[in-house]
Amino acid sequence: MKDSEKIIIEFVKLSKNREKVLKALENETLKPTDISKKTDIHRNNVSRILSQLREKDLVRLLNPENKRGRLYELTDYGQEILNLMKS
């Protein structure tokens, strides 16, 4: 495992909610409201966490032009990090 991967994994693990959001998006494309329901994290916090994860290239926003009904999914890198966290 590369040092950069270790740093990103530690970033995710520093917040249980970041970890929950990342896991919620595994094999799914979801709106923040759906993530909120699935993880029991308030929607405002989900939106903040999604922004943090986007900055680290772990998730991507599929429809940035929309203000409502935004769809998020894991990037390939996000999936790779999630897999490393499981091992």
- Summary mean pLDDT of the chain: 96
Where exactly are the structural domains of the chain? Answer: 3-86
In angstroms and rounded to an integer, the radius of gyration of the C-alpha atoms of the chain is 12
Q: Would you say 81 and 58 are in contact if contact means Cβ atoms under 8 Å apart? A: yes
The model's pTM: 0.93
Please give the average per-residue pLDDT across 72-82, as a whole number: 97
Summarize pLDDT for 4-33 with one digit per residue, the tens.
Answer: 999 999 999 999 999 999 999 999 999 999
Summarize pLDDT for 36-46 with one digit per residue, the tens.
Answer: 999 999 999 99
Q: Count Cα atoms within 13 angstroms, Cβ side, for 39.
A: 26
Fold (CATH) for 3-86: Arc Repressor Mutant, subunit A (1.10.10)
